[in-house]
Amino acid sequence: MVLSEQIEMYNKKLAERGLALIQKEEGLSLTDGELSIMADFREMLPRLKKSNLEREMLVKAARIKGQPMPQTLIDATAGFGEDSLILAAAGFEVRLYEFDEVIALLLQDCMDRAAEIPELKAAVGRMTLISQDSVQAMKELSYEPDIVLLDPMFPERQKSALIKKKFQLLQRLESPCSNEDELLEAAQLAKPKRIVIKRPLKGPYLAGKKPSYSLEGKAIRYDCMVFAK
């Protein structure tokens, strides 16, 4: 199905929620008539410089020492793919799962545009998007990933009023994670060597499970569960 047909199909469903997809020259966006959001990896370019990547806490949390790259990582809660892009730029082979079809369409449009940008092409080439429920998918994998990344949506992590409003726009498509136990259990069933969980700095452990260790930044914490192989 071509993009224009997909947009028409989804807009019939989105109209009930006061939302619409709009195709502009700069890319595909979601709007409620006042606010609009569009995934755009160009905004990430400063963070993708090699010197900056080496300082990224996410990369430090995900990379398995002593194992050559590329390491295979599942981003089970892809959203707009920013974390996956950082990891792919650092050399990981990333498989992104996004449950909501509209968010997945926005992300795929973003990835297609980024693949035409020389500075992003290599990283995006290491990213594969799957529009599917990751909880079910991780129970049926034909391989064992090295790492699984979990980042359930938590609105309290959003600070500015504009970001909160845009986050709420996405929430009208996809609610914050309500079944933490099921998400973590599915990640464990995938049999990775490591699970990395992105949390607000002062947030509780996902599903109440204490990690092997944590890396803390100013606002974000990465809880790492390490499994012997």
CATH number for the domain harbouring residue 157: 3.40.50.150
What is the rounded distance in angstroms from the CA atom of residue 161 to the CA atom of residue 140? 40
pLDDT > 90? residue 228: no
Residue 29 within any structural domain of the chain? no
Phi, psi (rounded to 5 degrees) for 194: -155, 140
pLDDT tens-digit series, residues 46-81:
999 988 998 999 999 999 999 999 999 999 999 899
Assess contact for 184 and 205: CB atoms under 8 A: no
Residue 101 within any structural domain of the chain? yes
Mean pLDDT of 5-30: 93
Mean pLDDT of 12-24: 92
pLDDT > 80? residue 229: no
Mean pLDDT of 15-28: 93
The tokens describing 165, both together, are 């409003």
Domains in the chain: how many in total?
1
Mean pLDDT of 27-51: 92
Residue 43 within any structural domain of the chain? no
Residue 16 within any structural domain of the chain? no
pLDDT > 50? residue 224: yes
- Residue 54 has what pLDDT? 86
Residue 26 within any structural domain of the chain? no
Residue 4 within any structural domain of the chain? no
What is the rounded distance in angstroms from the CA atom of residue 35 to the CA atom of residue 13? 19
Domain around 82: 52-226
The distance of Cα 60 from the centroid of its chain, to the nearest Å, equals: 17
- Residue 177 has what pLDDT? 56
- Residue 178 has what pLDDT? 58
Looking at per-residue confidence, does 175 or 19 come out higher?
Answer: 19
Looking at per-residue confidence, does 26 or 179 come out higher?
Answer: 26
Residue 14 within any structural domain of the chain? no
Residue 174 within any structural domain of the chain? yes
∠ CA 192-85-178, nearest 5°, is 60
Mean of all residue pLDDT scores within the chain: 90
pLDDT tens-digit series, residues 112-169:
999 999 999 999 999 999 999 999 999 999 999 999 999 986 544 445 555 566 667 7
The tokens describing 171, both together, are 């929430």
**Contacts of 118 by beta carbon, 8 Å cutoff, 6+ apart:** none
Task: Identify the residue whose tokens are 């938590």.
Answer: 154
